[in-house]
Amino acid sequence: MFYICTMKYDLGHCIGNRLRCLSRIVDKQFRARLKDYDITESQLSILFALRKLGKVEQGKIGEALVLERSTVSRNVKLLEKREIISRSLNYRPEIELTSKGEKLVNTLIPIWEILMDNLMEKLGEDGLEIIGSLERKLI
């Protein structure tokens, strides 16, 4: 005999699921524009962070972007293999963009800006403020 448990919330109200759905909607737009460059959304974030931070400990990128250590490590290895970033051999490796990586970032910035313009047009300043408010409440 099965016991049917009643749920306090409807699955349609699941905050995690709803946020992941929104993320997938946005990620789909990024993937469509980035496919010609063989770069994922996470890799793009890492590249942009490196452009801003310069040479930095690999672990600091994960902290700055709220990415799992394994996600950062996997993506760093892939980007290093393509000679887009370089990584030191230190116990706590430092990573930085190579000249090839700098060129790629400069190519990707206008594409990212177009995507951001499209999203900003859809969300507006109010939508952006709501996202910021959610982040502040959940962190």
Residue 63 has pLDDT above 80, yes or no: yes
CA distance 80 to 38: 14
CA distance 18 to 108: 29
For the chain, the average pLDDT equals: 93
pLDDT band with cut points at 50, 70 and 90 for residue 75 = very high
Thinking of the domain 40-138, which architecture would CATH place it in? Orthogonal Bundle (1.10)
Residue 9 has pLDDT above 90, yes or no: no
61 within 8 A of 50, measured Cβ to Cβ: yes
| Closest by Cα among 134, 139, 104 to 23 | 134
CA dihedral (31, 33, 39, 41) positive or negative: negative
Residue 1 has pLDDT above 80, yes or no: no
